[in-house]
Amino acid sequence: MCKGEVVDLTWPIESSMMVYPGLTRPVFQWVGRYNSEGYNSTRFLMEAHTGTHIDAPLHFIPDGVPVDSIPLDRFYGVAKILRFDVEPRGQQISCEELKKRCPALEGGEILILDTGVHRYFGKSDFFSRYPILTIEAARWLVEREIRALATDLPSLDPVGSKNAPIHRIILGAGIPIIENLANLHMLPDDANIFFIALPLKLRGREGSPCRAIAIIRHQ
């Protein structure tokens, strides 16, 4: 059994939450109330890429794997943190920077990319602040054969990107992406982390909301 301190890395889903430009916010409606129907029941409508969510290869690869067909063991496992201590300001993250900060990244591990931008979630400059991987950096991650890429970035490409080259490189290699993580500052730099982020079983779909957690295992 995997025991340790549990850190919730998921943003709450609510009608007033920040969403990626162009998406609609979640809509909640009471369809049953205890004082009239004798029970409480909610209907809600939301887009698959709301808040903390998973991108499956089908998101940008026409014949890519949908989220329900990705083996579940791609969404949990030992994770390594790659953390940046510079202020996020829309800069690029180079391949050299990744190699310097995470030289021992091994195949089969989940990479948690903490850019620090989660601290600005909900603020007006959030989408202008988040950094972007370079093409070479994305290809280096593919070469490392990581199990999944988890990050506080709301997207791997700039807002409004039509070609989405970074998404296509990562997803084209069959690597699922978990975006918009919260609370990464609560994970110690040298933590032994077991990461879990399971998608809903949405048949044939390109993405899904998820509940992401990190279990800090103490030696």
pLDDT of residue 101: 87
* 26 in any annotated domain: no
- Asked if residue 206 has pLDDT above 60, the reply is yes
The domain spanning residue 110 has which CATH number? 3.50.30.50
Residue 8's pLDDT band (boundaries 50, 70, 90)? very high
Phi, psi of 54, rounded to the nearest 5 degrees: -115, 135
Of residues 54, 95, 78, 201, the one with CA closest to residue 146: 78
The average pLDDT across 167-175 equals 98
Q: Which domain holds residue 179?
A: 5-17+48-216
Burial of 192 (0-12, 13-18, 19+ CB in 10 A): middle
- In angstroms, rounded to a whole number, what is the distance separating the alpha carbons of residues 192 and 179? 21
* 99 in any annotated domain: yes
Residue 2's pLDDT band (boundaries 50, 70, 90)? low
Q: What is the mean pLDDT of the chain?
A: 95
* 32 in any annotated domain: no
pLDDT of residue 219: 64
* 89 in any annotated domain: yes
* 207 in any annotated domain: yes
Q: Is the whole-model pTM more than 0.85?
A: yes
**Single-letter residue type at 124:** S
- Which of 76-80, 88-92, 104-108 has the lowest average pLDDT? 104-108
- Asked if residue 1 has pLDDT above 60, the reply is no
* 193 in any annotated domain: yes
pLDDT of residue 66: 98
Count structural domains, the chain: 1
- Asked if residue 107 has pLDDT above 90, the reply is no
Residue 158's pLDDT band (boundaries 50, 70, 90)? very high
- Asked if residue 81 has pLDDT above 90, the reply is yes
- Asked if residue 104 has pLDDT above 90, the reply is no
Cβ atoms of 217 and 10 within 8 Å: the answer is no
Cβ atoms of 211 and 12 within 8 Å: the answer is no
